[in-house]
Every structure is written in structure tokens, then in C-alpha cells.
Amino acid sequence: MTLASTNELLAYLADLVEQLERYGVTVLPPDDSDEIALGRDPDGSLVIDLEGRLPVSRTSRDVDLELFERWQLTGRDERACVEYNYELRHHEIGYRRAFHRHDEDYFVRMHGVATHEHCEATMGVEVCGHYYGHPVADAFDGFRRLYDTWLMDQKPDCLELTCLA
């Protein structure tokens, strides 16, 4: 989804929560809120901010999922996604995978890309701060990529990625 109205974003959020729950993800409202809702920043941007726990046995450590998007107004009730952050932290195996698009001007100026990835085969140990990232279409795509990584049930091979420096 490249452009969306407020109503389309509300439907997108509802569909996203439904898909996550279909995959067994426990969806949590952001910031200890009581409900899942489309957020609004002081600058008027609309925000999708979800946290979730992937299905694991009761004796396993959590697998945390974060899906974040910021949508800025570009026209009369027309918004564009200007930032995203999709992250998975697998505490049992101890790795982190993430797909980011933020600080676009900086990344384009420094690395020639607007998107980047994070890969920590050992969580908390960054061999490379930012990897080259293929753009993520939307939160559904970001979730599926992270879910597929989780299904492999092993640490990702960060050496397969291109380090941006």
C-alpha cells in the first residue's frame, strides 16, 4: 500500500491484526494501552505500532515481534508510509532480525539506499551496524519475512548479507 486514507489505514490495521492472530501471534497493544488503535503523533502522522509474541511452548523464552509504520499526510486525507520498523527478537536462540526504513535522507546520502536491515546472529552483538536491505512492501510482507526466519528455528546467517559499513 503506497497511499492510503485514514479509513483504509484502519482497515489495514484490522486486517493485519487478524492475520497475525491467524498465525498464532499474541498481539499486544503498544505502551501498555488497553486497546489496539491507530496512533497519532503530534505532527499529525498516523502510526501503526504493534507488539506480539510468537507461539512457543510455555517452557521456552519469548519470541518478540514489533511492527511499526509512520504515515504522513501528503494530500487531503491521503497518507504515505514514510517510516517502518519490523523486528523479531528470538530470546531462546538469541538472535535479532529487523527491516528498517527511517532517516531516509541520511541513508540515501551515506549508503545510497533508503532501506536497511539488522542481523545479530548473537543478540546484542553487531558485526555490522546496518546491512543492505531490500524494500519491504508493507507490514504483511515484513511479518511474513520475519515469521519465515523464525520457522527455520536456527540463527540467521548474517554473513550472507551485504554490510553497509
* pLDDT above 70: percentage of residues in the chain: 99
Q: What is the pLDDT of residue 30?
A: 77
Distance CA 58, CA 47 (A): 32
Mean pLDDT within 115-119: 96
* pLDDT above 90: percentage of residues in the chain: 87
pLDDT band of residue 1 (cuts 50, 70, 90) is low
Q: DSSP string covering the chain, please?
A: --EE-HHHHHHHHHHHHHHHHHTT-EEE-GGG-SS---EE-TTS-EEEEEEEE----TTSPPEEEEEEEEEEEEETTEEEEEEEEEEEEETTTTEEEEEEE-SHHHHHHHHS-S-EEEEESBTTB-SSS-EE-PPP-SHHHHHHHHHHHHHTTS---GGGSPB--
Nearest Cα residue to 140 out of 53, 47, 69: 69
Amino acid (one-letter) located at 111: H
As a whole number, the mean pLDDT across the chain is 94
pLDDT digits (tens, 9 = 90+) for 26-41: 999 877 778 899 999 9
For residues 31 and 117, which has the higher predicted lDDT (pLDDT)?
Answer: 117
Residue 139 has pLDDT above 90, yes or no: yes
Q: Which residues, 6 or more positions from 71, have their beta carbon under 8 angstroms from its beta carbon?
A: 4, 9, 45, 46, 47, 48, 79, 80, 81, 82
pTM: 0.94
- Cα-Cα-Cα-Cα torsion 11, 83, 149, 59, nearest 10 degrees, comes to -80
Mean pLDDT within 135-150: 97
Residue 97 has pLDDT above 70, yes or no: yes
Query: Domains of the chain: which residue ranges?
Result: 3-154
Nearest Cα residue to 143 out of 48, 16, 35: 16
Residue 165 has pLDDT above 80, yes or no: no
Residue 137 has pLDDT above 90, yes or no: yes
CB 136 within 8 A of CB 117: no
